[in-house]
């Protein structure tokens, strides 16, 4: 069955927009139907997060692994007493006119294309971090969201914490003086993935759909399900996994986007396994025009904490420093004696914020709009490029290209596999 987005959009997108959204906002009592793509790991949280909101219904779970999809459907019926439809091919989900929202928790290499296709199909999108697998894709996601007037939320839930919103406000007000440096801390317990041979894919897995935009390769258990994070074809290492939360927080607190200089180094020091991405990575991003700098530290396995933080951020200013612990807490310490200053702990509901914006049709209501998906993910991509090339890079934030560096520019995007192609120009 041929299911390209172009033909679908031309015939139905405009009609769907009028039918579902009219010319104004959705009513608060209108039930929104959600489809969750990718339900092995993070997708389980998406199911729970949306199903427990008022007037929101998870109607479909989609995964190229039929066994995983069936497990989630069984759990869903047991928990909520309702049936949920299962699919293996996300294109069939996008063709379903009854679905309002697409929630994407697939491997990274599918995030951007699934977002673009969903926008073209008239759906609103909640997309996990990182928004993109490479820098080129992030810009295309922004273009799609605006061209098709869709609501797109990036899954960095710290943006919905009232405490961290307050922290950023106080940084801007000078609570720690002039802010000049941030440190993103990404210390996770990541074990060896061992060695796994190439083999035939299991019968319950649609390996072609799973690979999607990536070039075709032989199946191996070293790639699925979680281990894809540590392979360049599908993931971005931990800087592009857990690290996106901390990179997003660093940009937000510093008030910056893309750097003009980036350098990174690291490597594999512990495991002689199939993992391609580094176990330890240190990167620096420099913003000479704002006179600010960002430090990024990724470490696996046994590690200490910094100021009691294993996952979080530190902001340094002329009058003190501010700590961000995980997703919902900030503390300040002021002066030479590190006197405790303002602090707060408060969780937010990122799914609820997204649904509110879907109903109002106002992108300004989003705590983490599509632009955050591009800029925070881009930091990981730039650092990875510097690491893989083994040298410092100069970047033009306006052109989103490297400065006189054709070799580095080639790594800003990937070669796509038909028909799973992120287009140069997002059109219908």
> 300 pairs with which residues across the strands?
188
Residue 391: predicted pLDDT = 98
pLDDT at 350 over 70: yes
pLDDT tens profile 66-121: 999 999 999 999 999 999 999 999 999 999 999 999 999 999 999 999 999 999 99
Residue 310: predicted pLDDT = 96
pLDDT bracket for residue 427 (50, 70, 90): confident
Q: Angle at which helices 43-51 and 350-360 pack, to 10 degrees?
A: 60
- Secondary structure class of 108 (helix, strand, coil): helix
Residue 14: predicted pLDDT = 41
* Secondary structure of 18-44 as H, E, C letters: HHHHCCCCCCCCCCEEEEEECCCCCHH
Span 367-391, mean pLDDT?
Answer: 98
The structure tokens listed for 9 are 């959009």
Q: Over pLDDT 70: what percentage of the chain?
A: 93
Main-chain phi, psi angles of 237, to 5 degrees:
70, -175
pLDDT tens profile 262-281: 999 999 999 999 999 999 99
pLDDT bracket for residue 28 (50, 70, 90): low
Q: What is the DSSP string of 347-401?
A: ---HHHHHHHHHHHT-GGG-SSBHHHHHHHHHHHHHHHHHHHHTS-EEEETTTTE
Higher pLDDT, 18 or 141: 141
- Least Cα distance to 391 among 400, 382, 401, 399 occurs for 382
Domains of the chain by range and CATH?
5-158+351-368 (3.40.50.720), 161-194+208-347+379-403 (3.30.360.10)
- CB atoms closer than 10 angstroms to residue 103: 31
Q: Over pLDDT 90: what percentage of the chain?
A: 92
Residue 26: predicted pLDDT = 61
Q: What is the distance between the alpha carbons of residues 72 and 84, in angstroms, rounded to a whole number?
A: 9
Q: What is the distance between the alpha carbons of residues 87 and 364, in angstroms, rounded to a whole number?
A: 33
CA–centroid distance for 113 within its chain = 13
Main-chain phi, psi angles of 287, to 5 degrees:
-120, 80
């Amino acid at each position: 069955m041929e299911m390209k987005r172009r033909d679908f959009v031309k015939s139905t997108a405009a009609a769907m927009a009028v039918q579902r959204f009219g010319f104004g906002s959705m009513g608060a009592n209108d039930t929104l139907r959600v489809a969750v793509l990718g339900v092995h790991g993070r997708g389980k949280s998406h199911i729970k997060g949306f199903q427990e909101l008022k007037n929101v219904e998870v109607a479909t779970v989609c995964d190229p692994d039929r066994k995983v999809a069936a497990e989630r459907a069984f759990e869903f019926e047991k928990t909520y007493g309702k049936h949920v439809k299962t699919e293996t091919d996300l294109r069939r989900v996008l063709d379903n006119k009854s679905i309002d929202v697409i929630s994407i928790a697939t491997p990274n290499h599918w995030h951007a294309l699934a977002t673009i296709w969903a926008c073209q199909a008239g759906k609103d999108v909640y997309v996990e971090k990182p928004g993109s697998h490479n820098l080129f894709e992030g810009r295309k996601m922004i273009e799609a969201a605006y061209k098709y007037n869709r609501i797109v939320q990036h899954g960095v839930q710290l943006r919905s914490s009232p405490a961290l919103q307050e922290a950023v406000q106080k940084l801007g007000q000078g609570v720690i003086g002039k802010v000049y440096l941030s440190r993103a801390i990404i210390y996770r317990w990541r074990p060896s993935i061992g060695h796994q041979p190439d083999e035939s894919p299991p019968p319950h897995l649609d390996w072609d759909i799973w690979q999607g935009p990536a070039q075709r390769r032989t199946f191996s258990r070293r790639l699925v399900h979680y281990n894809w994070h540590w392979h360049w074809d599908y993931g971005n290492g931990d800087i592009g996994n857990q690290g996106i939360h901390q990179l997003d927080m660093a940009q937000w607190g510093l008030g910056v986007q893309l750097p003009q200089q980036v350098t990174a180094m690291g490597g594999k020091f512990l495991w002689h396994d199939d993992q391609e991405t580094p176990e330890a990575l240190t990167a620096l991003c420099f913003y000479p025009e704002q006179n600010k700098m960002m430090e990024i530290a990724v470490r696996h396995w046994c590690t200490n904490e910094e100021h009691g933080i294993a996952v979080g951020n530190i902001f340094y200013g002329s009058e003190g420093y501010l700590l961000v612990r995980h997703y919902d807490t900030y503390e300040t310490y002021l002066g030479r004696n590190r006197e405790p200053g303002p602090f707060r702990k408060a969780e937010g509901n990122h799914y609820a914020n997204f649904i509110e914006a879907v109903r109002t049709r106002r992108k300004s209501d989003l705590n983490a709009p599509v632009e955050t998906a591009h800029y925070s993910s881009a930091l990981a991509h730039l650092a990875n490029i510097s690491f893989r090339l083994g040298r410092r890079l100069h970047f033009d934030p306006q052109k989103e290209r490297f400065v006189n560096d054709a070799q580095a520019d080639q790594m800003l995007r990937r070669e796509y596999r038909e028909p799973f192609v992120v287009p140069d120009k997002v059109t219908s």
